[in-house]
Amino acid sequence: MTYQRNTGPFIVNKLVTSTSFSNLSFNTITLTDYRTSLGVYPGKPALNGLAFSAVTATSAGAQPSIGMHRPSSISGNYGADLARYGLGRGSNGKLGVSIVQNESPVIQYRAGYDAGDTYVSPTYSVVI
Amino acid sequence: MTYNIREATMGTFAVGFVLADGTSISSGSAVPYTIEDGTSGHGITVSSGVVTLPLGEWICLFSLETSNNSNHTADIYVNGSIETNFPQIQGFNNSNTQTDLNTTAIPIRSTGSTTVELRVNTSASTYSSASDLVIYGVKVT
């Protein structure tokens, strides 16, 4: 695919309801609140563009949680977002990166060490 | 989804802001990002961390890391009012020397005088020069 510069609107969508997973497999965090500069975007739009994601998690164990963002239809193109070590609230320090192509961005998450990490509302994705 | 700005487009810009190591940040005040040297033509200005956006469509991406020894939060303000619809930065104490480097983002359609800033809720100072602000968007006439 080719990437063309996007003139907007730019989308920020975030996690509204905290979510956790009980296994160490890949899981999908559903982001439901799509917002543009003009307000809430109705429904679940299919988007094209460069996507970034950031994850904030409360770790269930002594190891970091790992959040990854990648589009559902393109495998292998994603960046990892490594949260802090230890119990407590994890970081959304690094950004996952991907390209979305006619799809709604989700954050695909994989716990590296501990099941049951909880992902909380500052978790979000940006599409430009 | 496609969307076109109907006004005449002047161009797309990506503008970087920096924040030096050891910069003091007061609770309730704007984080004093400054525009990186060498950028021009975009029309974005900043005064004590309060950024004024020219007419256009913009996305603002904030990151912040502090040396505060306790947790802190930071919120986006638009035209001086808190904007709670977008993610709050939650910086958590990490090894008693620094918080995690955390991020947030907001899309803004500026009237030409719209301001945006990031305010922390606990006084702190930056732990390193890693914190930044990137504004990308389209300036229109």
**Mean pLDDT score across all residues of chain A:** 72
**Mean pLDDT score across all residues of chain B:** 86
The ipTM (two decimal places) reads 0.79
Note whether B137 contacts A10, CB cutoff 8 Å: yes
Strand, helix or coil for residue A18: coil
Confidence of residue A52 (pLDDT cuts 50, 70, 90): confident
Residue range B11-129 in CATH 2.60.120.40 = yes
For the segment B24-34, the average pLDDT, to the nearest whole number, is 94
Distances in whole angstroms, Cα of residue A77 to Cα of each of A2, A127, B82, B124 = 15, 15, 35, 37
Q: For residue A33, which residues of chain B lie inside 8 Å, CB to CB?
A: 85
**Residue located via tokens 């790992």:** A66
Minimum Cα–Cα distance from A43: chain B residue: B1
What digits encode the pLDDT tens for the residues B107-132? 999 999 999 999 999 888 888 888 89
- The ranges assigned to domains in chain B are 11-129
Note whether A37 contacts B109, CB cutoff 8 Å: yes
Cα angle, residue B62 at apex, residues B52 and B7 outer, rounded to 5°: 45
Write B76-83 long-range contacts (CB < 8 A, 24+): B76/B104, B76/B106, B76/B116, B76/B117, B76/B118, B77/B30, B77/B115, B77/B116, B77/B117, B77/B118, B77/B119, B78/B106, B78/B108, B78/B114, B78/B115, B78/B116, B79/B114, B79/B115, B80/B115, B82/B119
Domains of chain A: 11-127 (2.60.120)
Nearest to B5 among A8, A91, A94 (CB): A8
For the segment A53-74, the average pLDDT, to the nearest whole number, is 64
The pLDDT of residue B5 is 56
Nearest to A124 among B59, B87, B138 (CB): B87
DSSP state of A100: E
Q: For residue B138, which residues of chain A lie inside 8 Å, CB to CB?
A: 7-8
Pick from B86, B107, B88: which is nearest to A36 by CA?
A: B107
Residues of B at the A interface, defined by Cβ within 8 angstroms: 1, 3-5, 9, 12, 57-59, 61, 65, 71, 85-90, 92, 94, 100-109, 136-138
Give yes or no for a contact between A104 and A29, defined as CB atoms under 8 angstroms apart.
no
- Whole-angstrom Cα distance, residue A25 to residue A95? 21
Region of poorest pLDDT, from A46-55, A84-93, A111-120:
A84-93
Nearest to A12 among B5, B92, B106 (CB): B106
Q: For residue A45, which residues of chain B lie inside 8 Å, CB to CB?
A: 1
Structure tokens belonging to residue A109: 């998450």
The pLDDT of residue B99 is 73
**Residue located via tokens 């192509």:** A101
Note whether A91 contacts B59, CB cutoff 8 Å: no
Judged against a pLDDT cut of 50, whether residue A42 lies above it is answered with yes
Nearest to B59 among A10, A38, A47 (CB): A10
Q: For residue B4, which residues of chain A lie inside 8 Å, CB to CB?
A: 7
Note whether A7 contacts B12, CB cutoff 8 Å: yes
